[in-house]
Amino acid sequence: MAEEYVVSIAAQEEPDSGSAIGALGVIWYELSGGIGPWGALRPLFALVLSFVPFLFLGQHFNRQHRKAFGYFVIQLPLILSVVMWPVLWVWSIADAWWISSRIVAKAENDG
């Protein structure tokens, strides 16, 4: 006995003609890595905030309040040292950038 197989192919729909706004949306999606405008700008915003000396706002922005408080307490004796305080300040700037980038990467992977 011969069996018959039926193959059906769905008709492909042609995409609607795109608009300029749709094209810009796709370009922005590709440039921002699919994480949106805030995800793309979050590390830069944390970096800018961390340039404010003495307050460690980059760590506060990343919701690492204990780390910011610890840096604040550590800086008090380091202010007397002209060499060590700038090292702590530069480290806090880099730390704010790294942590914010990690938050964005984690949000991208979870979403």
Token pair listed for 98: 């790294």
Task: Give the pLDDT score at 31.
Answer: 60
Average pLDDT in the 68-85 region?
A: 85
Q: What is the pTM of this model?
A: 0.54
Write the CA distances from 1 to 4, 5, 37, 84, integer angstroms.
10, 13, 63, 89
Average pLDDT across the chain, whole number: 81
